[in-house]
Chain A
Amino acid sequence: MKAAEVKLLLTSSPFLKQEDDMPTIMRQVIYSLVPVSLAAIYYFGLGALLLILVCVGGALGTEWVFSRGKRGRRLSIADGSAILTGLLLALVLPPAIPLWMALLGAVAAIGIGKMVFGGVGSNIFNPALVGRAFLQAAFPVALTTWVPQGGWQSLARLYPTQFGMPFAKTTVSAVTTATPLSQMKFAGQTTDTLQLLLGNTGGSLGETCALIILLGGIYLAWRNYLNWRVPVAVFASVAVFAGILHWVDPLKYAPPMFHLFSGGLMLGAIYMATDPVTSPVTQRGCWIFGIGIGVLVMVIRTYGGLPEGVMYAILLMNAVSPLINRVTQARIYGESRKKDKG
Protein backbone atom coordinates (compact mmCIF):
# COMPACT_ATOMS: atom_id res chain seq x y z
CA MET A 1 0.00 0.00 0.00
CA LYS A 2 1.29 3.34 -0.95
CA ALA A 3 1.57 5.95 1.71
CA ALA A 4 -0.35 9.11 1.01
CA GLU A 5 1.91 11.70 -0.47
CA VAL A 6 2.72 14.35 2.05
CA LYS A 7 2.65 17.79 0.63
CA LEU A 8 4.96 20.25 2.27
CA LEU A 9 4.45 23.91 1.86
CA LEU A 10 7.80 25.62 1.87
CA THR A 11 7.95 29.34 2.43
CA SER A 12 10.64 31.64 3.63
CA SER A 13 10.51 34.05 6.55
CA PRO A 14 8.94 36.32 7.73
CA PHE A 15 6.06 34.21 8.94
CA LEU A 16 4.40 36.84 11.08
CA LYS A 17 3.20 39.78 9.11
CA GLN A 18 1.90 43.00 10.53
CA GLU A 19 -1.32 44.19 8.99
CA ASP A 20 -0.54 47.88 9.36
CA ASP A 21 1.23 49.60 6.51
CA MET A 22 2.58 53.11 6.44
CA PRO A 23 -0.59 54.87 5.16
CA THR A 24 -2.64 53.25 7.95
CA ILE A 25 -0.23 54.40 10.63
CA MET A 26 -0.05 57.89 9.15
CA ARG A 27 -3.85 58.04 9.10
CA GLN A 28 -4.06 56.95 12.72
CA VAL A 29 -1.54 59.60 13.77
CA ILE A 30 -3.48 62.24 11.86
CA TYR A 31 -6.75 61.13 13.53
CA SER A 32 -5.11 61.40 16.93
CA LEU A 33 -4.10 64.96 16.05
CA VAL A 34 -7.67 66.00 15.19
CA PRO A 35 -8.61 66.75 18.84
CA VAL A 36 -5.40 68.77 19.19
CA SER A 37 -6.31 70.79 16.10
CA LEU A 38 -9.86 71.31 17.41
CA ALA A 39 -8.45 72.59 20.69
CA ALA A 40 -6.23 74.98 18.73
CA ILE A 41 -9.25 76.25 16.77
CA TYR A 42 -11.20 76.66 20.02
CA TYR A 43 -8.45 78.78 21.56
CA PHE A 44 -7.34 80.76 18.50
CA GLY A 45 -10.44 80.91 16.32
CA LEU A 46 -10.91 80.51 12.57
CA GLY A 47 -7.44 81.93 11.97
CA ALA A 48 -5.98 78.71 13.33
CA LEU A 49 -8.08 76.62 10.94
CA LEU A 50 -6.89 78.77 8.05
CA LEU A 51 -3.28 78.30 9.12
CA ILE A 52 -3.70 74.51 9.29
CA LEU A 53 -5.30 74.44 5.83
CA VAL A 54 -2.51 76.56 4.31
CA CYS A 55 0.24 74.40 5.81
CA VAL A 56 -1.35 71.11 4.75
CA GLY A 57 -2.07 72.49 1.27
CA GLY A 58 1.47 73.80 0.91
CA ALA A 59 2.96 70.47 2.01
CA LEU A 60 0.78 68.49 -0.40
CA GLY A 61 1.52 70.85 -3.28
CA THR A 62 5.27 70.67 -2.71
CA GLU A 63 5.15 66.88 -2.49
CA TRP A 64 3.24 66.80 -5.77
CA VAL A 65 5.70 69.08 -7.56
CA PHE A 66 8.78 67.22 -6.30
CA SER A 67 7.47 63.77 -7.14
CA ARG A 68 6.85 64.84 -10.73
CA GLY A 69 7.76 62.19 -13.25
CA LYS A 70 8.31 59.53 -10.63
CA ARG A 71 6.45 56.29 -10.49
CA GLY A 72 4.19 56.03 -7.49
CA ARG A 73 3.43 59.70 -7.51
CA ARG A 74 -0.15 59.16 -6.52
CA LEU A 75 1.02 56.87 -3.73
CA SER A 76 3.42 59.44 -2.39
CA ILE A 77 0.54 61.91 -2.06
CA ALA A 78 -1.89 59.35 -0.70
CA ASP A 79 0.33 57.89 2.01
CA GLY A 80 -0.56 60.84 4.23
CA SER A 81 2.99 61.69 5.24
CA ALA A 82 2.80 65.11 3.58
CA ILE A 83 -0.54 65.84 5.28
CA LEU A 84 0.97 64.88 8.63
CA THR A 85 4.03 67.06 8.06
CA GLY A 86 1.83 70.04 7.11
CA LEU A 87 -0.42 69.50 10.12
CA LEU A 88 2.52 69.22 12.53
CA LEU A 89 4.11 72.33 11.03
CA ALA A 90 0.89 74.29 11.57
CA LEU A 91 0.76 73.09 15.16
CA VAL A 92 4.21 74.48 15.96
CA LEU A 93 3.61 77.93 14.41
CA PRO A 94 2.25 80.96 16.23
CA PRO A 95 -1.45 81.57 15.37
CA ALA A 96 -1.12 85.04 13.86
CA ILE A 97 1.83 84.32 11.53
CA PRO A 98 1.33 85.74 8.00
CA LEU A 99 -0.03 82.94 5.83
CA TRP A 100 2.58 83.40 3.11
CA MET A 101 5.29 82.66 5.65
CA ALA A 102 3.45 79.51 6.72
CA LEU A 103 3.25 78.46 3.07
CA LEU A 104 6.98 79.08 2.66
CA GLY A 105 7.59 77.00 5.77
CA ALA A 106 5.56 74.12 4.34
CA VAL A 107 7.55 74.30 1.08
CA ALA A 108 10.82 74.31 3.04
CA ALA A 109 9.64 71.44 5.24
CA ILE A 110 8.82 69.12 2.35
CA GLY A 111 11.42 70.44 -0.10
CA ILE A 112 14.52 70.91 2.06
CA GLY A 113 13.46 68.61 4.89
CA LYS A 114 12.25 65.58 2.97
CA MET A 115 12.34 65.48 -0.82
CA VAL A 116 16.00 66.45 -1.36
CA PHE A 117 16.99 63.46 0.75
CA GLY A 118 14.91 61.14 -1.43
CA GLY A 119 11.39 61.37 -0.06
CA VAL A 120 9.62 59.57 2.73
CA GLY A 121 11.86 57.30 4.80
CA SER A 122 15.13 58.86 3.70
CA ASN A 123 15.12 62.16 5.57
CA ILE A 124 17.63 62.80 8.34
CA PHE A 125 15.65 65.48 10.16
CA ASN A 126 11.99 65.72 11.09
CA PRO A 127 10.52 67.64 8.09
CA ALA A 128 8.03 69.73 10.09
CA LEU A 129 10.77 70.90 12.42
CA VAL A 130 13.06 71.70 9.47
CA GLY A 131 10.26 73.94 8.16
CA ARG A 132 9.92 75.66 11.50
CA ALA A 133 13.69 76.04 11.93
CA PHE A 134 13.85 77.63 8.47
CA LEU A 135 11.10 80.09 9.40
CA GLN A 136 12.69 80.79 12.77
CA ALA A 137 15.97 81.66 11.07
CA ALA A 138 14.33 83.70 8.32
CA PHE A 139 11.65 85.59 10.26
CA PRO A 140 12.60 85.61 13.96
CA VAL A 141 10.14 88.38 14.88
CA ALA A 142 7.04 86.86 13.29
CA LEU A 143 7.87 83.50 14.87
CA THR A 144 7.94 84.92 18.37
CA THR A 145 4.83 87.11 18.20
CA TRP A 146 2.04 85.46 20.15
CA VAL A 147 -1.60 86.45 20.35
CA PRO A 148 -3.73 85.88 23.47
CA GLN A 149 -5.97 82.81 23.56
CA GLY A 150 -9.76 83.16 23.43
CA GLY A 151 -12.78 80.91 23.77
CA TRP A 152 -16.28 80.39 22.34
CA GLN A 153 -17.00 84.12 22.08
CA SER A 154 -14.11 84.78 19.74
CA LEU A 155 -14.33 81.62 17.66
CA ALA A 156 -14.90 83.46 14.38
CA ARG A 157 -11.87 85.71 14.63
CA LEU A 158 -9.16 86.00 12.03
CA TYR A 159 -5.95 87.94 12.47
CA PRO A 160 -5.18 90.97 10.28
CA THR A 161 -1.47 90.06 10.37
CA GLN A 162 -2.28 86.79 8.63
CA PHE A 163 -3.19 88.49 5.38
CA GLY A 164 -0.01 90.48 4.86
CA MET A 165 1.19 90.78 1.26
CA PRO A 166 3.94 88.28 0.45
CA PHE A 167 7.43 89.74 0.93
CA ALA A 168 6.06 92.91 2.49
CA LYS A 169 6.66 93.94 6.07
CA THR A 170 3.66 93.50 8.33
CA THR A 171 2.29 96.95 9.00
CA VAL A 172 -0.71 96.15 11.20
CA SER A 173 0.13 95.51 14.80
CA ALA A 174 -1.59 92.76 16.75
CA VAL A 175 -2.47 92.42 20.39
CA THR A 176 0.35 90.30 21.70
CA THR A 177 0.94 88.25 24.77
CA ALA A 178 3.70 86.14 26.27
CA THR A 179 4.00 82.37 26.44
CA PRO A 180 4.38 80.74 29.86
CA LEU A 181 8.01 79.94 29.03
CA SER A 182 8.94 83.47 27.99
CA GLN A 183 7.22 84.77 31.14
CA MET A 184 9.37 82.37 33.10
CA LYS A 185 12.52 83.31 31.24
CA PHE A 186 12.18 87.06 31.15
CA ALA A 187 9.94 87.86 34.14
CA GLY A 188 10.44 84.89 36.44
CA GLN A 189 6.72 84.05 36.68
CA THR A 190 5.34 80.53 36.64
CA THR A 191 1.92 79.64 35.30
CA ASP A 192 -0.61 77.48 37.11
CA THR A 193 -0.27 73.80 36.16
CA LEU A 194 -4.01 73.38 35.66
CA GLN A 195 -4.06 76.22 33.11
CA LEU A 196 -1.11 74.59 31.35
CA LEU A 197 -2.90 71.23 31.25
CA LEU A 198 -6.04 72.79 29.78
CA GLY A 199 -3.99 74.91 27.44
CA ASN A 200 -5.48 78.19 28.55
CA THR A 201 -2.23 80.05 27.72
CA GLY A 202 -0.58 81.82 24.83
CA GLY A 203 1.65 79.90 22.44
CA SER A 204 1.77 77.95 19.20
CA LEU A 205 -1.36 76.12 18.06
CA GLY A 206 -0.21 72.81 19.51
CA GLU A 207 1.72 74.24 22.42
CA THR A 208 -1.39 74.86 24.43
CA CYS A 209 -3.49 71.89 25.46
CA ALA A 210 -1.11 69.40 27.09
CA LEU A 211 -3.90 67.08 28.26
CA ILE A 212 -5.33 66.34 24.80
CA ILE A 213 -1.87 65.76 23.34
CA LEU A 214 -1.07 63.37 26.16
CA LEU A 215 -4.32 61.45 25.54
CA GLY A 216 -3.50 61.23 21.82
CA GLY A 217 -0.06 59.92 22.71
CA ILE A 218 -1.47 57.30 25.06
CA TYR A 219 -3.86 56.13 22.32
CA LEU A 220 -1.01 55.81 19.80
CA ALA A 221 1.22 54.02 22.30
CA TRP A 222 -1.63 51.63 23.13
CA ARG A 223 -2.11 50.84 19.43
CA ASN A 224 1.67 50.43 19.22
CA TYR A 225 2.01 53.16 16.59
CA LEU A 226 4.71 54.96 18.49
CA ASN A 227 7.58 53.82 20.62
CA TRP A 228 6.58 54.77 24.17
CA ARG A 229 10.22 54.66 25.29
CA VAL A 230 11.05 57.95 23.58
CA PRO A 231 8.43 60.21 25.22
CA VAL A 232 8.83 58.46 28.59
CA ALA A 233 12.59 59.01 28.45
CA VAL A 234 12.08 62.66 27.49
CA PHE A 235 9.58 63.32 30.28
CA ALA A 236 11.65 61.48 32.86
CA SER A 237 14.88 63.28 32.05
CA VAL A 238 13.16 66.68 31.97
CA ALA A 239 11.46 65.96 35.30
CA VAL A 240 14.70 64.82 36.93
CA PHE A 241 16.75 67.73 35.55
CA ALA A 242 14.10 70.31 36.51
CA GLY A 243 13.54 68.62 39.87
CA ILE A 244 17.20 68.88 40.83
CA LEU A 245 17.36 72.53 39.78
CA HIS A 246 14.13 73.34 41.63
CA TRP A 247 15.39 71.52 44.72
CA VAL A 248 18.65 73.50 44.68
CA ASP A 249 17.00 76.90 44.26
CA PRO A 250 13.16 76.94 44.26
CA LEU A 251 12.99 80.69 43.74
CA LYS A 252 15.11 80.78 40.63
CA TYR A 253 14.06 77.60 38.86
CA ALA A 254 10.54 76.49 37.97
CA PRO A 255 9.12 73.23 39.34
CA PRO A 256 9.25 70.10 37.14
CA MET A 257 5.48 70.14 36.48
CA PHE A 258 5.81 73.55 34.87
CA HIS A 259 8.58 72.38 32.55
CA LEU A 260 6.69 69.21 31.61
CA PHE A 261 3.44 70.86 30.60
CA SER A 262 4.59 74.17 29.15
CA GLY A 263 5.83 74.95 25.68
CA GLY A 264 6.15 72.43 22.90
CA LEU A 265 7.48 69.60 25.04
CA MET A 266 4.31 67.48 24.88
CA LEU A 267 3.82 67.82 21.15
CA GLY A 268 7.54 67.46 20.45
CA ALA A 269 8.09 64.42 22.63
CA ILE A 270 4.97 62.55 21.52
CA TYR A 271 4.57 63.45 17.86
CA MET A 272 7.98 64.61 16.60
CA ALA A 273 10.65 62.77 18.56
CA THR A 274 8.88 59.47 17.86
CA ASP A 275 9.02 59.90 14.08
CA PRO A 276 10.14 56.38 13.08
CA VAL A 277 12.35 57.67 10.28
CA THR A 278 14.50 60.04 12.31
CA SER A 279 14.69 58.24 15.65
CA PRO A 280 16.92 55.23 16.46
CA VAL A 281 15.71 51.72 15.63
CA THR A 282 17.03 49.93 18.69
CA GLN A 283 15.14 50.01 21.99
CA ARG A 284 18.23 50.98 23.98
CA GLY A 285 18.87 53.67 21.37
CA CYS A 286 15.37 55.08 21.95
CA TRP A 287 16.13 55.53 25.65
CA ILE A 288 19.39 57.33 24.88
CA PHE A 289 17.65 59.43 22.21
CA GLY A 290 14.85 60.47 24.58
CA ILE A 291 17.18 61.28 27.46
CA GLY A 292 19.34 63.33 25.11
CA ILE A 293 16.33 65.36 23.99
CA GLY A 294 15.17 65.94 27.57
CA VAL A 295 18.58 67.10 28.76
CA LEU A 296 19.06 69.38 25.74
CA VAL A 297 15.59 70.91 26.23
CA MET A 298 16.39 71.73 29.83
CA VAL A 299 19.86 73.05 29.00
CA ILE A 300 18.46 75.38 26.33
CA ARG A 301 15.50 76.49 28.48
CA THR A 302 17.63 77.13 31.54
CA TYR A 303 20.97 78.35 30.24
CA GLY A 304 20.26 79.33 26.62
CA GLY A 305 19.15 82.65 25.19
CA LEU A 306 15.84 81.27 23.92
CA PRO A 307 12.85 80.54 26.15
CA GLU A 308 12.05 77.29 24.32
CA GLY A 309 14.40 74.63 22.98
CA VAL A 310 12.34 71.57 22.02
CA MET A 311 12.78 72.15 18.27
CA TYR A 312 16.57 72.42 18.39
CA ALA A 313 16.85 69.58 20.89
CA ILE A 314 14.96 67.19 18.62
CA LEU A 315 16.82 68.31 15.48
CA LEU A 316 20.19 67.85 17.21
CA MET A 317 19.27 64.39 18.43
CA ASN A 318 17.97 63.52 14.93
CA ALA A 319 21.47 64.28 13.68
CA VAL A 320 23.09 61.82 16.08
CA SER A 321 20.51 59.05 15.81
CA PRO A 322 22.52 57.13 13.14
CA LEU A 323 25.43 57.15 15.60
CA ILE A 324 23.16 55.92 18.39
CA ASN A 325 22.02 53.12 16.09
CA ARG A 326 25.59 52.07 15.48
CA VAL A 327 26.57 52.12 19.14
CA THR A 328 23.51 50.20 20.34
CA GLN A 329 23.65 47.37 17.81
CA ALA A 330 22.37 44.18 19.37
CA ARG A 331 25.02 41.58 20.16
CA ILE A 332 24.82 38.62 17.83
CA TYR A 333 23.92 35.48 19.80
CA GLY A 334 27.03 33.52 20.68
CA GLU A 335 29.42 36.36 20.08
CA SER A 336 31.72 37.34 22.87
CA ARG A 337 30.88 40.37 24.95
CA LYS A 338 34.35 41.78 24.60
CA LYS A 339 35.27 43.12 21.21
CA ASP A 340 38.01 41.05 19.67
CA LYS A 341 40.87 43.12 18.52
CA GLY A 342 41.87 40.85 15.65
Chain B
Amino acid sequence: MANDLFKMPETAVSTDEFIKGLWRENPVFVQVLGMCPVLAVTNSGINAIAMGLATTFVLVMSNILVSSLRKVIPKQVRIATYILIIATFVTVVEYLIQAISLDLHKALGAFISLIVVNCVILGRAEAFASKNTLANSFLDGLGMGLGFTFALLCLGVVREILGSGTIFGIGLFPDGFQSWVVMILPGGGFFTMGAWLLFFNWLKERNKKREAALSESGTGVK
Protein backbone atom coordinates (compact mmCIF):
# COMPACT_ATOMS: atom_id res chain seq x y z
CA MET B 1 0.00 0.00 0.00
CA ALA B 2 2.62 2.50 1.08
CA ASN B 3 4.66 1.69 -1.99
CA ASP B 4 1.73 2.44 -4.24
CA LEU B 5 1.28 5.90 -2.80
CA PHE B 6 4.77 7.13 -3.52
CA LYS B 7 5.52 5.22 -6.68
CA MET B 8 5.83 7.17 -9.91
CA PRO B 9 3.12 6.15 -12.38
CA GLU B 10 4.33 3.27 -14.49
CA THR B 11 3.45 3.35 -18.11
CA ALA B 12 4.47 -0.18 -18.97
CA VAL B 13 1.86 -2.89 -18.55
CA SER B 14 2.96 -5.20 -15.78
CA THR B 15 1.44 -8.57 -14.93
CA ASP B 16 2.71 -8.08 -11.40
CA GLU B 17 -0.19 -5.68 -10.82
CA PHE B 18 -2.51 -8.63 -11.42
CA ILE B 19 -0.65 -11.21 -9.39
CA LYS B 20 -0.06 -9.11 -6.26
CA GLY B 21 -3.78 -8.95 -5.43
CA LEU B 22 -4.12 -12.72 -5.50
CA TRP B 23 -1.62 -13.42 -2.80
CA ARG B 24 1.05 -10.96 -1.74
CA GLU B 25 -1.38 -8.09 -1.14
CA ASN B 26 -4.55 -10.10 -0.81
CA PRO B 27 -7.25 -7.60 0.23
CA VAL B 28 -8.69 -9.87 2.92
CA PHE B 29 -5.88 -11.97 4.32
CA VAL B 30 -3.10 -9.38 4.09
CA GLN B 31 -4.71 -5.95 4.04
CA VAL B 32 -7.71 -7.08 6.16
CA LEU B 33 -10.06 -4.74 4.28
CA GLY B 34 -13.75 -5.09 3.48
CA MET B 35 -14.48 -7.23 6.55
CA CYS B 36 -18.23 -6.54 6.52
CA PRO B 37 -19.15 -8.72 3.50
CA VAL B 38 -16.37 -11.18 4.35
CA LEU B 39 -17.95 -12.00 7.70
CA ALA B 40 -21.60 -11.47 6.81
CA VAL B 41 -22.35 -13.32 3.59
CA THR B 42 -19.88 -16.20 3.64
CA ASN B 43 -22.24 -18.71 5.22
CA SER B 44 -22.32 -20.76 2.02
CA GLY B 45 -20.06 -21.32 -0.96
CA ILE B 46 -22.57 -20.01 -3.51
CA ASN B 47 -23.12 -16.78 -1.59
CA ALA B 48 -19.38 -16.30 -1.28
CA ILE B 49 -18.78 -16.73 -5.03
CA ALA B 50 -21.68 -14.44 -5.95
CA MET B 51 -20.51 -11.74 -3.57
CA GLY B 52 -16.90 -12.11 -4.74
CA LEU B 53 -17.78 -11.86 -8.43
CA ALA B 54 -20.11 -8.89 -7.88
CA THR B 55 -17.34 -7.09 -6.01
CA THR B 56 -14.82 -8.00 -8.73
CA PHE B 57 -17.08 -6.55 -11.41
CA VAL B 58 -17.52 -3.28 -9.52
CA LEU B 59 -13.81 -3.15 -8.71
CA VAL B 60 -12.71 -3.66 -12.31
CA MET B 61 -15.22 -1.24 -13.82
CA SER B 62 -14.63 1.51 -11.26
CA ASN B 63 -10.86 1.13 -11.58
CA ILE B 64 -11.16 1.52 -15.35
CA LEU B 65 -13.37 4.59 -15.15
CA VAL B 66 -11.41 6.25 -12.34
CA SER B 67 -8.15 5.63 -14.15
CA SER B 68 -9.40 7.03 -17.45
CA LEU B 69 -10.83 10.09 -15.71
CA ARG B 70 -7.89 10.60 -13.36
CA LYS B 71 -6.71 13.78 -15.10
CA VAL B 72 -10.20 15.29 -15.24
CA ILE B 73 -11.37 14.77 -11.64
CA PRO B 74 -10.52 17.76 -9.41
CA LYS B 75 -8.56 16.75 -6.34
CA GLN B 76 -10.97 18.40 -3.88
CA VAL B 77 -13.99 16.34 -4.87
CA ARG B 78 -12.28 13.11 -5.87
CA ILE B 79 -13.70 10.92 -3.06
CA ALA B 80 -17.27 12.00 -3.87
CA THR B 81 -16.64 11.31 -7.52
CA TYR B 82 -15.22 7.85 -6.82
CA ILE B 83 -18.24 7.01 -4.67
CA LEU B 84 -20.54 8.16 -7.45
CA ILE B 85 -18.72 5.98 -9.98
CA ILE B 86 -18.75 2.97 -7.64
CA ALA B 87 -22.44 3.45 -6.79
CA THR B 88 -23.30 3.43 -10.49
CA PHE B 89 -21.72 0.03 -11.01
CA VAL B 90 -23.19 -1.34 -7.77
CA THR B 91 -26.65 -0.40 -9.06
CA VAL B 92 -25.88 -2.22 -12.30
CA VAL B 93 -24.69 -5.34 -10.47
CA GLU B 94 -27.66 -5.28 -8.10
CA TYR B 95 -30.16 -5.31 -10.99
CA LEU B 96 -28.06 -7.97 -12.71
CA ILE B 97 -28.19 -10.34 -9.74
CA GLN B 98 -31.90 -9.68 -9.32
CA ALA B 99 -32.44 -10.66 -12.96
CA ILE B 100 -30.27 -13.79 -12.81
CA SER B 101 -31.42 -15.25 -9.51
CA LEU B 102 -33.95 -13.76 -7.15
CA ASP B 103 -33.04 -16.30 -4.44
CA LEU B 104 -29.45 -15.20 -4.48
CA HIS B 105 -30.54 -11.58 -4.33
CA LYS B 106 -32.59 -12.37 -1.24
CA ALA B 107 -29.75 -14.32 0.38
CA LEU B 108 -27.24 -11.51 -0.09
CA GLY B 109 -29.78 -8.89 0.95
CA ALA B 110 -28.51 -5.43 1.77
CA PHE B 111 -24.91 -6.50 1.31
CA ILE B 112 -25.08 -6.02 -2.47
CA SER B 113 -25.91 -2.35 -2.02
CA LEU B 114 -23.26 -2.15 0.66
CA ILE B 115 -20.55 -2.94 -1.92
CA VAL B 116 -20.59 0.87 -2.38
CA VAL B 117 -18.90 1.31 0.98
CA ASN B 118 -16.56 -1.66 0.65
CA CYS B 119 -13.21 -0.11 1.46
CA VAL B 120 -11.33 -2.43 -0.90
CA ILE B 121 -12.94 -0.67 -3.88
CA LEU B 122 -12.49 2.89 -2.67
CA GLY B 123 -8.99 1.97 -1.52
CA ARG B 124 -7.97 0.74 -4.95
CA ALA B 125 -9.52 3.77 -6.66
CA GLU B 126 -7.67 6.18 -4.38
CA ALA B 127 -4.38 4.33 -3.99
CA PHE B 128 -3.98 2.84 -7.43
CA ALA B 129 -6.38 3.74 -10.23
CA SER B 130 -6.09 7.49 -9.69
CA LYS B 131 -2.32 7.31 -10.24
CA ASN B 132 -1.85 4.59 -12.84
CA THR B 133 -2.59 3.84 -16.45
CA LEU B 134 -5.78 2.25 -17.62
CA ALA B 135 -4.28 -1.15 -18.45
CA ASN B 136 -2.51 -1.45 -15.12
CA SER B 137 -5.60 -0.31 -13.23
CA PHE B 138 -7.65 -2.94 -15.01
CA LEU B 139 -5.17 -5.65 -14.04
CA ASP B 140 -5.01 -4.36 -10.48
CA GLY B 141 -8.79 -4.39 -10.15
CA LEU B 142 -9.05 -7.87 -11.61
CA GLY B 143 -6.30 -9.25 -9.36
CA MET B 144 -7.70 -7.64 -6.21
CA GLY B 145 -11.23 -8.78 -7.10
CA LEU B 146 -10.18 -12.37 -7.69
CA GLY B 147 -8.10 -12.32 -4.49
CA PHE B 148 -11.19 -11.10 -2.65
CA THR B 149 -13.31 -13.84 -4.23
CA PHE B 150 -10.70 -16.44 -3.28
CA ALA B 151 -10.75 -15.29 0.35
CA LEU B 152 -14.55 -15.29 0.48
CA LEU B 153 -14.57 -18.77 -0.98
CA CYS B 154 -12.09 -20.00 1.67
CA LEU B 155 -14.45 -18.84 4.40
CA GLY B 156 -17.65 -19.84 2.63
CA VAL B 157 -16.61 -23.44 1.98
CA VAL B 158 -15.47 -24.09 5.55
CA ARG B 159 -18.58 -22.51 7.03
CA GLU B 160 -20.90 -24.37 4.69
CA ILE B 161 -19.29 -27.75 5.37
CA LEU B 162 -19.38 -27.33 9.16
CA GLY B 163 -22.60 -25.35 9.33
CA SER B 164 -24.83 -27.41 7.08
CA GLY B 165 -22.80 -30.43 5.95
CA THR B 166 -23.00 -29.49 2.28
CA ILE B 167 -20.66 -28.03 -0.28
CA PHE B 168 -22.22 -25.75 -2.93
CA GLY B 169 -25.56 -27.24 -1.94
CA ILE B 170 -24.49 -30.87 -2.47
CA GLY B 171 -24.80 -33.05 0.63
CA LEU B 172 -21.51 -34.53 1.84
CA PHE B 173 -22.84 -36.75 4.58
CA PRO B 174 -25.66 -39.02 3.44
CA ASP B 175 -26.63 -40.41 6.84
CA GLY B 176 -27.38 -37.26 8.78
CA PHE B 177 -24.98 -34.53 9.73
CA GLN B 178 -24.87 -32.80 13.08
CA SER B 179 -24.62 -29.21 11.90
CA TRP B 180 -22.66 -26.69 13.94
CA VAL B 181 -25.26 -23.94 14.11
CA VAL B 182 -22.69 -21.38 15.22
CA MET B 183 -20.87 -21.65 11.89
CA ILE B 184 -23.79 -20.17 9.94
CA LEU B 185 -24.23 -17.41 12.52
CA PRO B 186 -21.96 -14.32 12.43
CA GLY B 187 -19.87 -15.74 15.27
CA GLY B 188 -18.74 -18.58 13.01
CA GLY B 189 -17.52 -15.98 10.51
CA PHE B 190 -15.15 -14.57 13.10
CA PHE B 191 -13.90 -18.01 14.15
CA THR B 192 -13.27 -19.08 10.54
CA MET B 193 -11.64 -15.77 9.64
CA GLY B 194 -9.34 -16.08 12.64
CA ALA B 195 -8.42 -19.65 11.73
CA TRP B 196 -7.62 -18.73 8.11
CA LEU B 197 -5.54 -15.71 9.18
CA LEU B 198 -3.64 -17.97 11.55
CA PHE B 199 -3.02 -20.44 8.76
CA PHE B 200 -1.89 -17.86 6.17
CA ASN B 201 0.37 -16.05 8.63
CA TRP B 202 1.94 -19.37 9.61
CA LEU B 203 2.47 -20.15 5.90
CA LYS B 204 4.06 -16.76 5.30
CA GLU B 205 6.37 -17.09 8.31
CA ARG B 206 7.44 -20.53 7.14
CA ASN B 207 8.19 -19.29 3.62
CA LYS B 208 10.15 -16.37 5.00
CA LYS B 209 12.22 -18.69 7.16
CA ARG B 210 12.86 -20.98 4.20
CA GLU B 211 13.96 -18.09 2.00
CA ALA B 212 16.26 -16.85 4.73
CA ALA B 213 17.74 -20.33 5.11
CA LEU B 214 18.17 -20.61 1.33
CA SER B 215 19.96 -17.28 0.97
CA GLU B 216 22.19 -18.13 3.91
CA SER B 217 23.23 -21.45 2.47
CA GLY B 218 23.71 -19.71 -0.90
CA THR B 219 26.25 -17.26 0.52
CA GLY B 220 27.89 -20.11 2.38
CA VAL B 221 28.69 -21.85 -0.92
CA LYS B 222 30.24 -18.72 -2.36
Contact = CB atoms under 8 A, between A and B. Distances in A.
B167 to A, nearest CB: 14
Contact of A138 (B165, B173, B177, B182): B182
B11 interface: no
Interface stretch (A165-173, A219-227, A260-268): A165-173
Contacts of A241: none
A134 interface: yes
Given A112-B191, A116-B194, A137 B177 contact: no
B68 to A, nearest CB: 46
Contacts of B194: 116
Interface in B164-216: 165, 173, 175-178, 180-183, 185, 187, 191, 194
Contacts of A164: 178
B106 to A, nearest CB: 25
A3 to B, nearest CB: 66
B15 to A, nearest CB: 38
Main secondary structure of the interface of A (DSSP, over half): loop
A137 B178 contact: no
B218 to A, nearest CB: 26
Interface in A112-144: 112, 116, 134, 137-140, 142
A170 B179 CA distance: 11
B180 A139 contact: yes
B181 A139 contact: yes
A169 B178 contact: yes
Chain A CB count within 10 A is highest, among B178, B180, B181, for B178
Given A112-B191, A116-B194, A134 B177 contact: no
Interface size on A, as a range, is 10 to 19
Contacts of B177: 167-169
Interface in B146-176: 165, 173, 175-176
Interface residues of B, number: 14
Contact of A168 (B175, B181, B182): B175
A168 B191 contact: no
B176 A171 contact: yes
B209 to A, nearest CB: 13
Contacts of B187: 137
A8 to B, nearest CB: 53
A280 B187 CA distance: 27
B183 to A, nearest CB: 7
Contact of B185 (A137, A167, A168, A171): A137
Nearest to A98: B178
Contact of A139 (B165, B178, B191): B178
A142 B182 CA distance: 13
A171 B176 CA distance: 9
Chain B CB count within 10 A is highest, among A134, A142, A167, for A167
A134 B178 contact: no
Contacts of B176: 168-169, 171
Interface of B: 165, 173, 175-178, 180-183, 185, 187, 191, 194
11 contacts: A116-B194, A137-B182, A138-B180, A138-B182, A167-B173, A168-B173, A168-B175, A168-B176, A168-B177, A168-B178, A170-B178
What 7 A-B pairs come out closest when comparing CB atoms? A169-B176, A137-B182, A138-B180, A138-B182, A169-B178, A138-B181, A168-B176
Interface of A: 112, 116, 134, 137-140, 142, 164, 167-171
